[in-house]
Amino acid sequence: MTSHNGRRVVITGIGLVSPLGTGIEENWTSLMEGRSGIGPITRFDAGPFSTRIAGEVKNYNAEDYIPRKELRKMDPFLRFALVAAGLAFDDSQLKISPDLAPRAGVILGCGLGGLLTIEESHKLLMEVGPKKVSPFFIPMIIGNMAPGLISIYHGAKGPNLSIQTACAAGTHAVGEAFNMVRNGVSDIMITGGVESTITTLAVAGFNAMRALSTRNDEPEKASRPFDRDRDGFVLGEGAAILILEEASRAVERGAKIYAEVIGFGASGDAFHMAAPAPEGEGAARCMQTALDDAGIAPAQVDYINAHGTSTDLNDKYETQAIKTVFREHAWKVAVSSTKSMTGHLLGAAGGVEAAYTALTIDRQMIPPTINYEYPDPDCDLDYVPNQPRKADVTVAISNSFGFGGTNGTLVFRKWTGQ
């Protein structure tokens, strides 16, 4: 099968900065060991908050990819994006030459941008005065600076866009990048998602919504998608960058191909600011649209990387949406939520989970849903509980659903060259 206009799209590079580690191997080892990246918040005194845990990025060196003098001009989310991009370029062995530059673009998803810089700068403004606000304040906080800096650092002169659709942003970014390559707008797209919002204001805001887990005494067990005792999501941070290439070009240069991207779907719930539509109606339409776009029947899907946030309604309604689309195959397809280990990376989640799904296909191992202890009658599918599973994974999908009722689904397939 071929994509639109006969152009096929493959993933040739992956860069990861997450609570599970930096780079592919650290992330994959953590996934296969079922190791949680969630622990006590260390960025600020979380004592007054009802939630005192998060999935923080630890032990990464931004100076490997960013000159030291530039670091002070960058909010943490920009550093995450550039490090992940550097890792992806190293992995893909891609060099953007001057003649290729106009055919190489960047699309990145981000939810809230430079929230830490906003908080710190506002404090300076209030306590000291306007002259203390940095001249780099605006460039440090705007979401589109992440793809902007990636294009500057790597010489990509094609389309340059930022997508800000909350928790679906990373998935939407990969999907739109995929469309640009298969439709002939670009030959290479650098895409994914980034987020860094483990801050006082973000935690206070999500606590006010009662969205976060308060399992503070057992942080590694706090994110428990589809489990009966789930009590909210856990805030995470990080970035994932994928290099998408037109397939014949990737084959010609001898690139490693992790997986082929074959479909993308998006939908809107038109229901509520924060709650998903009842019975996952919007999510079901999104998955069906993606499968139709890929030309794939539900029974051909081997694995679903679920949105699986560890919140009551999301997990219940995503399960119902899978049943709506997959019918009797719903109980045969493997479903897991890697958020059980990473927490919820908001705008970065879709990028990270797209990378994990591609690696699942490449390595033929399905990551588990950890912390699955108590079955929920409303969540009765095969969630790959607690242990990774070796499996033949030819086709997989990845779901992301965001505030405002915005949904995205990506479809991936094992690359065979046929």
Distance CA 323, CA 24 (A): 32
Number of domains, the chain = 2
User: Quick check: helix, strand or coil at residue 48?
Assistant: coil
User: Does residue 312 register a pLDDT over 60?
Assistant: yes
Tens digits of residue pLDDT in 316-333: 999 999 999 999 999 999
Same domain, 40 and 131: yes
Same domain, 74 and 208: yes
Same domain, 272 and 246: no
User: Pairing relation of β-strands 53-54 and 39-40?
Assistant: antiparallel
Distance CA 217, CA 222 (A): 9
Tens digits of residue pLDDT in 365-397: 999 999 999 999 999 999 999 999 999 999 999
- Annotation says 286 is catalytic: no
pLDDT of res. 268: 98
User: Quick check: helix, strand or coil at residue 36?
Assistant: coil
- What's the average model confidence in pLDDT over 126-130? 97
Same domain, 225 and 276: no
- Annotation says 307 is catalytic: yes
Q: CA separation (Å) from 335 to 42, 127, 235?
A: 32, 50, 22
Same domain, 172 and 312: no
User: Does residue 2 register a pLDDT over 60?
Assistant: no
Range of the domain at 274: 265-413
- What's the average model confidence in pLDDT over 104-123? 98
Asked if residue 298 belongs to a domain, the reply is yes
Give the active site residue among 172, 286, 344, 379: 344
- Annotation says 4 is catalytic: no
- pLDDT tier, 24 (very low <50, low <70, confident <90, very high otherwise): very high
Give the active site residue among 110, 154, 286, 307: 307
Q: Which of 199, 227, 252 is the last residue of a domain?
A: 252
User: Does residue 3 register a pLDDT over 50?
Assistant: no
- pLDDT tier, 4 (very low <50, low <70, confident <90, very high otherwise): low
Same domain, 230 and 281: no
Amino acid present at 291: L
CATH number, position 137: 3.40.47.10
Same domain, 47 and 118: yes
Same domain, 270 and 174: no
Asked if residue 259 belongs to a domain, the reply is no
Give the active site residue among 167, 172, 286, 379: 167
Same domain, 90 and 218: yes
